[in-house]
A and B are shown apart, each in its own frame.
Chain A
């Protein structure tokens, strides 16, 4: 049986009096690509923040590789469980400085050849290294954000709608890259996407969340013929 990279047991989370995650129980299998789908506001991004300790649950337990999340040192945990944030936020400075950020934080710095290779991997030209990162287009920022998350070589990679502003070709390139990393390093991937075709293409497994609840989870094929009525409606709406 495949071990769970991340396991939720009856997890609840609220912020500002809003019950955002409700009794979440489920697991993300190690070494697989799991897609996380659901309508806006379902709590998907919030779930990611709980996975790498940016937030703590009000109740319930989160296990990372079988060990309770609180037992990890937060810094170690976040380097091993990386998030490419939905907002693709950049700090002030050049593309290189942004790419280098994960290492700068550890008092190291990135090898220039490695930097160029990473840019190439995500489909960015390496002549943009000196450009101001805040001047990049939305799609370029997403690519840079993915590359930056890869710098820490995380064992679990949480991808929050990383292809939402990309054209079809770039979208496919990123999908290939993620699949390649998954195969080569056995990296566990959890991928939030609004694109159900994409979820079917790349996901081994899937979680469907709605209104803070985990409605269904299992093999990706469940998206083709879901059991739950709400999921059926959601799937129909997304594919039309």
Chain B
């Protein structure tokens, strides 16, 4: 695509701007900010990727992944601010899920060990792990808060912290992973997944595009389940002290 045709795509920005102005929706400012940010961010990423692909140096790949993990942590930690040490718990989770998925992919030679594969797949894994982390933390902190009485009851009866928080933990793990699993049931029927569409538009063989999409879907299943479980098991102990007393959430 040339820069001329690319600039023509701004028509799609003008339409909502004009509609917002005429109907007084007040969306102009946010639309403009979103447009400008996406142009700058994506172009920057494009050039960085181009450079990283050319140099093909492991250090740059690792740097990019660390950057992704940093950004994901920054985004997700706000949702778990009431849990002690949530920042490092998120970092550990993201690093673990990244190492796990990449070792399987590269170890079994499912994809070639080049930045063209490693970086986009890492982006999807870490991005989805972040979304799952946010879903999980939202639900978990709400469950813990609203069911304090039950937690205290179980402790009173001589239950361990794990028993006292079990229901909340399982409910939150399930609730946060269900959307990922459910969305895979209808995938392709209504909407073609973004990555697959992109590949087809770029001229790839549809069947090959499907194969890659399946690979991604399965990776995301692991990502979803492992992220929630790991965050859950890292988080719940901070709600108790070593005398098995239930601590209040940080406020």
Q: Which residues of A contact B (CB under 8 A)?
A: 52-56, 70, 74-76, 78-79, 82-83, 85, 87, 89, 91-92, 101-102, 105-106, 148-149, 152
Contacts and interface: CB of A to CB of B under 8 A. Distances in A.
A92 B146 CA distance: 13
Given A70-B243, A152-B158, 11 more contacts: A52-B156, A54-B156, A74-B244, A75-B160, A78-B156, A82-B156, A89-B149, A89-B150, A92-B167, A105-B159, A152-B157
B154 A54 contact: no
A162 to B, nearest CB: 14
A77 to B, nearest CB: 8
Contacts of B244: 53, 74-75
Given A53-B243, A75-B160, A87-B149, A101 B154 contact: yes
Contact of B157 (A53, A55, A56, A148): A148
Interface residues of B, number: 17
Nearest to B155: A54
Nearest to B251: A16
B153 A91 contact: yes
B158 A91 contact: no
B246 interface: yes
B152 interface: yes
A56 B244 CA distance: 11
A55 B159 CA distance: 15
A45 to B, nearest CB: 11
B38 interface: no
Nearest to A101: B157
B158 A102 contact: yes
Contacts of B155: 54, 78
